[in-house]
Amino acid sequence: MGYGSYSHDAHQALLATRAHLGDTEVFKQSSCHPLMNPKGIRLRESRDSKEHPKSFGVVFALDVTGSMGDIPRLLARRELPKFMKILTDSGFADAQLLFVAVGDARSDSAPLQVGQFESTAKLMDQWLTWSYLEGAGGGSGEESYELALYLLAEHTEMDCWVKRKKKGYLFMTGDELPYPAVSRHQIDAVIGDRLDEDIPVEEAVAVLQETFHPFFLIPDLERRRRCEKRWRELIGDYVVCLEDPHDVCYVSAGLVALTEGAVKDLADFEPLLAKAGAPPDRVAAIMRALTPYAAVVGRDGAPPVGPGRSGGDGRFKKLKGK
């Protein structure tokens, strides 16, 4: 997937049409959309084309449980064009976006939903607003983030990696812990894969890191207390703590620009924020959220240090014949 060209003006115009709509008029699903049901999924593909010779896979995996539903609404109402504006201005006009919605497999009817990689504003918006914001969650301090990690590691293929060994980007939003392991029973029920055994979440992360830069975005400083330590154990410096959920798109775009070297440092990134329309009163908070990672990748004048941990020993083991 990923055909067609992105238009910032078209995206802005699309969002303007829903300025006075209620949330249920934007996100109309009352259950998982059939085309976002991952059961039986083969691949979600980000591919090169004549329009996009250097396709670039980006995934937003959005926690849609009760405490996190504001972020998809913000993206659908005003923020997503700002992310795309910064990416385009940074030299990533061939970005292709995939939306995944994450819930809790122990309590939700739709614990995992997945769209397609897309390049046009209309289709990006379609998959985002087709997401079912179930708004539940298990209340145990955990959500099924590990199912999304498994799905992206096992069921995506991106030409940016296959052809150019350039990793894609995962921006997962959340405020809870993952479960300790990818349950083979849940994977069978939700995706349809048959596994020999449960997979420790550490192994799921390791395999995912072979093809993605996996960022976990905590929406504010209060909620970082719940989950930051565990996520740092899993993905190290790829944990980014925001001060406000409104900053998700600006921070995500900044993480791409810093990692890819599209800006030499944070000061070089700041004009891109202004050009994308970042509110002046949010710029300082956005820069603070980015500063720890900028230091890690040497974009603040500090010596460069490799972010996070990578590795993995191959693909997950499945039952014979599956």
Per-residue pLDDT of 67-98, as tens digits, reads: 899 999 999 999 999 999 999 999 999 999 99
Report strand pairing: 142-143 vs 177-178: parallel
Write down the domain spans for the chain: 8-296
CA dist list (Å): 290 to 113, 243, 270: 29, 11, 11
Does the pLDDT of residue 55 top 70, yes or no?
yes
Q: What is the mean pLDDT of residues 25-53?
A: 96
For residues 216 and 148, give the distance between their C-alpha atoms in angstroms, rounded to a whole number.
Answer: 12
User: Predicted confidence band at 104 (pLDDT cuts at 50, 70, 90)?
Assistant: very high
Q: Which two tokens stand for residue 266?
A: 């944070």
User: Predicted confidence band at 307 (pLDDT cuts at 50, 70, 90)?
Assistant: low
Does the pLDDT of residue 322 top 70, yes or no?
no
Q: Which two tokens stand for residue 317?
A: 């083991």
Number of CB atoms found within 10 A of residue 237's CB:
17
The residue to which tokens 């504006």 are assigned: 85
Q: What is the mean pLDDT of residues 38-51?
A: 96
On average, the pLDDT of the chain sits at 92
218 forms bridges with which residues in the sheet? 241
Number of CB atoms found within 10 A of residue 88's CB:
16
Does the pLDDT of residue 263 top 90, yes or no?
yes
Residue 272 parent element (H or E): helix 266-275
pLDDT of amino acid 136? 85
User: Predicted confidence band at 31 (pLDDT cuts at 50, 70, 90)?
Assistant: very high
What's the number of CA atoms in the CB half-sphere (13 Å) around residue 80? 37
Tell me the per-residue pLDDT of 120-132, one tens digit each, with 9 for 90 and over.
999 999 999 999 9
Whether the Cβ atoms of residue 105 and residue 213 lie closer than 8 Å to each other:
no
Q: What is the mean pLDDT of residues 291-317?
A: 65
Whether the Cβ atoms of residue 224 and residue 218 lie closer than 8 Å to each other:
yes
Strands ordered across the beta sheet of 112-114: 112-114, 95-102, 56-63, 168-173, 212-218, 239-241
pLDDT of amino acid 4? 85
Whether the Cβ atoms of residue 98 and residue 115 lie closer than 8 Å to each other:
yes
What percent of the chain has pLDDT above 70? 92
pLDDT of amino acid 306? 53
Q: What is the DSSP letter of 75?
A: I
CATH number of 8-296, picked from 3.90.1150.10, 2.40.50.140, 1.10.15.40, 3.40.50.410: 3.40.50.410
Regarding predicted confidence, which is higher, 322 or 6? 6
Q: What is the pTM of this model?
A: 0.93
For residues 24 and 20, give the distance between their C-alpha atoms in angstroms, rounded to a whole number.
Answer: 12
CA 100 to chain centre: 7
φ, ψ for residue 191, nearest 5 deg: -110, -35
pLDDT of amino acid 3? 74
75 forms bridges with which residues in the sheet? none
The residue to which tokens 């930051």 are assigned: 228
For residues 98 and 46, give the distance between their C-alpha atoms in angstroms, rounded to a whole number.
Answer: 9
Regarding predicted confidence, which is higher, 47 or 315? 47
Q: What is the DSSP letter of 214?
A: E
User: Predicted confidence band at 303 (pLDDT cuts at 50, 70, 90)?
Assistant: low
pLDDT of amino acid 128? 98
The residue to which tokens 């959309």 are assigned: 33
Q: Which two tokens stand for residue 63?
A: 């926690």
Does the pLDDT of residue 302 top 60, yes or no?
no
